Structure 1
Amino acid sequence: MSPAQRSAPAVRRPLSRLAPPLLLLLLLRPPAAAGDCSPPSDLANAKPALEDRTNFAEQSTVTYKCNEGFVKVPGKADSVICLDNKWSEVEEFCNRSCDVPTRLLFASLKKSYSNQNYFPEGSTVEYDCRLGYRRDHSLSGKLTCLQNFKWSKPDEFCKKKSCPYPEEIKNGNIDITQGILFGSSIYFSCNTGYKLVGATSSFCSIGRDSVEWSDQFPECQEILCPKPPKIHHGMIQDEESSYAYGQSVTYKCMEGFTLHGNSSIYCTVKDDQGEWSDPPPECKDTSQIYKFSLMVQELTTVNVPAAKNPAVPRATAGFHATSTPKGGGSSPSVASVITLGCVAGTIIIVTIILFKVFWDSGKSGSYYTHENNKALNVKFHNLTVTDDAAEVRPPGNL
């Protein structure tokens, strides 16, 4: 037996000792193509984006992604290539960096840094002042990425511009308590008796070349009252063509009339509208009041005739005459006293009625005519006194 024949059983013996499942897998596994690569390993501060692949053919490319807190260094490769069962070499390309530079209200990042996302320790950035601000060169306009990878605290190296100082408004006021710097507002108001025509406020905003007020300043227009009302049987003294706030008018009645109410009223303002302080007065006929006083005077002078005989009057029947008191003289008769009392009571009642009638007619603006007065005179002058002066009766009741 040749040496080759004696060694054959020794080669077959290890294969026969493999477990049946493993042997089946080896038989069914497709042969790997020459040059294929297995998944690439992790790199410092980066991991490959495998997308669930386990086998990579020759010339395949895998890109790495930086771990959280690290940024790709610009200009360095971040991928590898499969070359003959091996991955190509790659340098470390992920490093620590500050975040995007701080956004400032008064300044914007210069354009040269707008597309940059890698800011290692010690790197600096610069800013330009925004519109409405001016550069303060005494302060640094740079920010630095510190050792803790935080940006340094910025100085306020851009200051607000100032709008022109507002001019005064005639008959008005300007509230500038907020100042006149960019973004500030001012407020307008008018003096009493004037109304605002235009904007109530304005703010310092960006203009063509610098900053300016957003709205034109308003005007304060004088408020006028309407024409003063006319009155019957009266006039306005020294009447003018127009009346402004605080001005007054004075009324005067014609001869024979009396003024009732305020003789003067003045112009006031309500809700930016002019109005008069009170209603105008009234002129009432003085002659009616004069006639009333004459009538009362006539009624109080009615003559009562003397008694014709000392007989006891009907109104006093049952009373007995008394003797003349000692010391002489005569005492007034009971009939005379009663008669005078009746006349006085009648006069008082008539006076009250007439006063009420004339008061009501005066308030309503109407008065008795001459004929009415005449009828009243006839009615109260034709009172009849009985022969014994005991009663006063109107005509027809004798």
Structure 2
Amino acid sequence: MGCGRCRSLPVVPVVPVVLVVLVVLVVLVPAARGDCGPLPQLPGAEPPEDSKDNQSFPIGSKITYQCVQGFAKLPLKSDTIQCLENALWSVLPEFCSRSCYSPPRVSFARVSQEDELKNFYAVGITVNYVCNPGYEKSSDKLPTSTCHENLTWSEVPVLCQRKSCGTPENPEHGTVVTTDQLFGAKADVICDDGYMLTAGQAFIRCHLKGDGVAWTQLPTCQLIQASSSTVGTTAVTDATKPLEEKTSEYRYILPLVIIPCIIGIAVILIWTIKKCAVKQKGTYKPNPTNAGDEEQGPSCQERKTGP
């Protein structure tokens, strides 16, 4: 029988279908092999240098990200992703955010214990300070500092002042010289004339004592004792004494030596003149050649009456 009414069926092109299948296989090839594809990009974080360019990771692979410069890890947030059984990466919420470094350190105060324990300081956060030992509040407010947008801290206001040790006492036979009585100050100790400091430091300091401040112990001033060794009528002082103390002692010793000598010479001269006077008048006169001889003393010689 003829098939006059039969129509020819359309011929399906084979090449396009094959291409579509190949494209699907290429796209799903990691899944087909059971591997995860390239690492996802996360804001403020990056994978390790040795894995960032890899295009395929086997199931079970774990990759730990790091926060880039200017960002810090949020507390209690995970920073690791894993290639799951379905060949997909696990979901990792954003864990890096912009953060300032540790708050600034100052000499008069320290960061409060609560803020010190934090390891993340987001932009806009404010930390509190408490006065250091030896300092006290100068107002009702405490020092604070805030993290700015440029990731720098605001300046910490000086709201703590040094405590005072008060006016120091003077040691016996000495004086304390100071222009500052506040915590950390130093005061010199000077002994009166004729006295010297005992072994130890020649100053005191305003230092911490319990919850407050106080001056360190005062040194003592003791009387300077002259050496018992003498030469003639001149006392020999201790060679180890300071030059100023030796000069002060000589100031008193020298008159005691010189004045008696002058008086003695004057007495000898007067006695000799009187002795010569008892001789016959006009016969003898003092001999000027040895009038000043300290060993022989002055003598008399015969006065010539003739031409």
Superposition TM-score tier, normalisation by shorter sequence: 0.5 to 0.7
Q: 2:244 aligns with which of 239, 254, 271?
A: 271
Q: Say whether 1:218 aligns with 2:219.
A: yes
Q: 1:126 aligns with which of 103, 125, 128?
A: 128
In structure 2, the CA distance between the partners of 1:32 and 1:356, relative to structure 1 (3 Å rule), is farther
TM-score of the two chains, using structure 2 as the length reference: 0.68
Q: 2:89 aligns with which of 80, 84, 87?
A: 87
Match of 1:343 in 2: none
In structure 2, the CA distance between the partners of 1:176 and 1:231, relative to structure 1 (3 Å rule), is closer
Match of 1:288 in 2: 272
Match of 1:151 in 2: 153
- The CA distance in 2 between the partners of 1:113 and 1:46, in whole Å, is 25
Cα displacement (A) at 1:76: 1.9
The 8 Å contact of residues 125 and 143 in structure 1, kept in 2 or not, is answered as yes
The 8 Å contact of residues 290 and 297 in structure 2, kept in 1 or not, is answered as no
Using CA pairs under 8 Å that are at least 6 residues apart, name the structure with larger relative contact order, 1 or 2: 2
The 8 Å contact of residues 31 and 87 in structure 2, kept in 1 or not, is answered as no
Give the letter for the 1:272 counterpart: E
Q: Deviations over 1:115-149 (max 9, x none)?
A: 42211122222223211112345123332223443
- The CA distance in 2 between the partners of 1:133 and 1:107, in whole Å, is 8
Q: How many residues align?
A: 257
Cα displacement (A) at 1:270: 5.7
- The CA distance in 2 between the partners of 1:230 and 1:46, in whole Å, is 91
Matches within 5 A, 1:2-151: 34-52=33-51, 54=54, 55-83=56-84, 84-151=86-153
Q: Deviations over 1:213-253 (max 9, x none)?
A: 12x223444557789x9999xxxxxxxxxxxxxxxxxxxxx
The 8 Å contact of residues 133 and 211 in structure 2, kept in 1 or not, is answered as no
Helix, strand or coil at the partner of 2:58: coil
Cα displacement (A) at 1:101: 0.7
- The CA distance in 2 between the partners of 1:102 and 1:296, in whole Å, is 108
The 8 Å contact of residues 127 and 144 in structure 2, kept in 1 or not, is answered as yes
In structure 2, the CA distance between the partners of 1:60 and 1:221, relative to structure 1 (3 Å rule), is same
- The CA distance in 2 between the partners of 1:88 and 1:115, in whole Å, is 31
- The CA distance in 2 between the partners of 1:59 and 1:224, in whole Å, is 91
Helix, strand or coil at the partner of 2:188: strand
The 8 Å contact of residues 50 and 62 in structure 1, kept in 2 or not, is answered as no
Match of 1:204 in 2: 206
TM-score of the two chains, using structure 1 as the length reference: 0.54
Q: Which moved more, 1:99-108 or 1:39-48?
A: 39-48
In structure 2, the CA distance between the partners of 1:226 and 1:65, relative to structure 1 (3 Å rule), is closer
Q: What's the C-alpha RMSD, in Å, of the aligned pairs?
A: 3.9
Q: Deviations over 1:155-208 (max 9, x none)?
A: 22322111132124454332221x211011112223444444464211101113
Match of 1:184 in 2: 185
In structure 2, the CA distance between the partners of 1:170 and 1:62, relative to structure 1 (3 Å rule), is same
- The CA distance in 1 between the partners of 2:143 and 2:116, in whole Å, is 16
In structure 2, the CA distance between the partners of 1:355 and 1:124, relative to structure 1 (3 Å rule), is same
Give the letter for the 1:35 counterpart: G
The 8 Å contact of residues 129 and 144 in structure 2, kept in 1 or not, is answered as yes
Helix, strand or coil at the partner of 1:87: coil
- The CA distance in 1 between the partners of 2:34 and 2:90, in whole Å, is 13
- The CA distance in 2 between the partners of 1:180 and 1:112, in whole Å, is 33
The 8 Å contact of residues 139 and 156 in structure 1, kept in 2 or not, is answered as no
Helix, strand or coil at the partner of 2:292: helix
- The CA distance in 2 between the partners of 1:65 and 1:230, in whole Å, is 88
Match of 2:6 in 1: none
Match of 2:10 in 1: none
In structure 2, the CA distance between the partners of 1:43 and 1:225, relative to structure 1 (3 Å rule), is closer
- The CA distance in 1 between the partners of 2:172 and 2:139, in whole Å, is 41
- The CA distance in 1 between the partners of 2:280 and 2:183, in whole Å, is 85
Cα displacement (A) at 1:68: 0.9
- The CA distance in 2 between the partners of 1:218 and 1:192, in whole Å, is 16
Helix, strand or coil at the partner of 1:139: coil
The 8 Å contact of residues 64 and 78 in structure 1, kept in 2 or not, is answered as yes
In structure 2, the CA distance between the partners of 1:296 and 1:90, relative to structure 1 (3 Å rule), is farther
Helix, strand or coil at the partner of 2:121: coil
- The CA distance in 1 between the partners of 2:141 and 2:41, in whole Å, is 46
Helix, strand or coil at the partner of 1:68: coil
The 8 Å contact of residues 136 and 157 in structure 1, kept in 2 or not, is answered as yes
In structure 2, the CA distance between the partners of 1:182 and 1:96, relative to structure 1 (3 Å rule), is same
- The CA distance in 1 between the partners of 2:36 and 2:49, in whole Å, is 12
Q: 1:167 aligns with which of 169, 188, 211?
A: 169
Give the letter for the 1:359 counterpart: G
- The CA distance in 2 between the partners of 1:156 and 1:129, in whole Å, is 10
